[in-house]
Amino acid sequence: MLAITKPPETHRVLSIKDSEEISKEAPLKTPAVSVVILNYNGRDVLPACLRSVYNSRDPNFEVIVVDNGSTDQSVEAAERDFPEATIVRNERNLGFSIGNNMGIARSRGEYVVLLNNDTVVHPDWLTELVKGAIQLNGGFCQPKILLMDDPKIINSAGNMIHLAGFGLCRGLGEPDIGQFEERVEIGYASGACVFASRRAIEEIGLLDPVYFAYNEDTDWGWRGRMFGWKSFYIPTAVIYHEWSRFASRSRLKFYYLERNRIATLLKNYSDRTLILLLPILLLSELAVILYSLASGWLPEKIKGYVDLFKSRRNLMAKRRQLQAKRRFGDRVVMKVFVDEMKHFYLGSAIGPLNKILRLLRWIVTHYV
C-alpha cells in the first residue's frame, strides 16, 4: 500500500455516510460552518489559532479539534481553555488526510473549513468566505494567506496546478500591495485553509488517505474540478500563517512531495492526456532528478518510485474508479492549470523549459 500508516484498530476512519448518521442522531443545533483544526504537538501555536477563531464575527460555526497523538499536552490545554470545542483524539499521528477526514465526519455544517493549527484568522475571515462561496457557487474557496512573521508578505493568493502536477502558491514571497484583490478561479485551495461545500465533498469524496502529508489539497481541488466544483480565491478573507514552521527543505518532505505528485498525475489525468503530456512529464522528471542529485535527496526520489510501483494495483484501482465517474474532460479541467513556473527546482534553467511547456500545452488543449 502507498499509505505510510493505517488507523489504529481503536479508531475507525469515518466516511461521509458515517457523518450523515451522526447528523441523524444529533440534529444540527450549531450553525452552518464547521471549522476542523488538525493538531499535532501544537502547544506553541494552537491556543492562538483557537482564540482567533472564537473571535470571529460570524457566530454561525462549530470548532472540531482533531489531535493526532500529541505528547506535548496541547490537546489537554485546548480542552481546558476552549470547552466549547469538540475534541477528537487519535492514539498516534495518522497524517493530514485521515485526521482531517475524521474531523469532517464529525462535522455538521453546510460548509467545512480545514484550518492549520499554525494560523491566526482575521475576525471577518469566515463571513467573507461564506459570502464568496454563496455568490460564486464554489465547491472550494481559500482566503488571502499572509505570513505570520511579516503580514506584508504573501504566503498564498490562491494555489495553482502546474501541468506536471506541481502545486504552486500564487504570489508567494511577494509584498502585498493590492495586486491580488480580485476574486478569481484557482487550481485548488491551499491546505492551510480549505473552505469546502459539503455538497462538493459528498460528490467527490473525502481526502485521499494515501496522502500522509503534502499534495492532498492539490488532489482534492483537481478532483473537484473533474466533477464541476470550482475553486476560488477570496481576497477579502484574510488569515496569517506561520509558514516557515513547516517550510524546511527536509528530505522526508521532498519524498512526500514527489511521490504524491506522481500519484496525483497517474490518478487524475486521462490516458490520452498522459500520452500527449509525456514530453512535459519526462522533462519535469529529469529536472527533479537533477535537482535531487545536487541537493542530496536522490535516495528519497528513488524511494518514491519504488513505493509507487509497490502500490500500483491500489493506485490503478483508484484511477479506474475516478475516470469512470468524472463528469468533465481534461480540456475543461486544465483551463486553470499553468504551464510556467517562476520558482522551479533548477532556478534560471527553467526559462528554455517553460517555452517548450507552453508549446506542448497548446498541443494538448487542442487535441485532448
Per-residue pLDDT tens digits for 215-268: 999 999 999 999 999 999 999 999 999 975 445 568 899 999 999 999 999 999
Same structural domain, 255 and 242: no
Dihedral of the alpha carbons of 71, 77, 82, 85, in degrees to the nearest 10: 20
163-172 pLDDT, tens digit each: 999 999 999 9
Shared domain check, 194 and 55: yes
Mean pLDDT of 105-123: 97
Give a yes or no: residue 33 inside a domain.
yes
User: How far from the centroid of its chain's Cα atoms is residue 330's Cα?
Assistant: 20
Quick one: 128 and 25 in the same domain? Answer: yes
Q: Which of 224, 246, 268 delimits the end of a domain?
A: 246
pTM, rounded to two decimals:
0.86
Give the C-alpha separation, 223 to 192, whole Å. Answer: 18
- H/E stretch holding 338 reads none
pLDDT tens string 323-346: 999 999 999 999 999 887 665 454
pLDDT for position 26: 44
User: 284: domain range?
Assistant: 251-367
Same domain for 310 and 275, yes or no, is yes
- Grid coordinates standing for 2? 502507498
In a domain, 58, yes or no: yes
- Are 60 and 153 in a shared domain? yes
For residues 256 and 197, state if they share a domain: no
Helix, strand, coil share of the chain (percent; to 5): 45, 20, 35
Determine the Cα–Cα distance for residues 344 and 340; give it in Å rounded to an integer: 9
Shared domain check, 239 and 259: no
Does residue 166 fall inside a structural domain?
yes
The predicted pLDDT at position 330 comes to 93
Percent of the chain with pLDDT over 70: 82
User: What was the pLDDT predicted at 280?
Assistant: 82
The number of folded domains in the chain is: 2
The predicted structure's pLDDT at residue 1:
38
Which CATH number fits the domain that encloses residue 37?
3.90.550.10
Mean pLDDT on 71-75: 95
- Same domain for 260 and 350, yes or no, is yes
pLDDT for the residue 283: 84
111 and 184 share a domain? yes
Backbone angles phi, psi at 236, to 5 degrees: -80, -10
Considering only 58-62, 87-91, 122-126, 233-237, which range has the smallest mean pLDDT?
58-62
Average pLDDT across the chain, whole number: 87
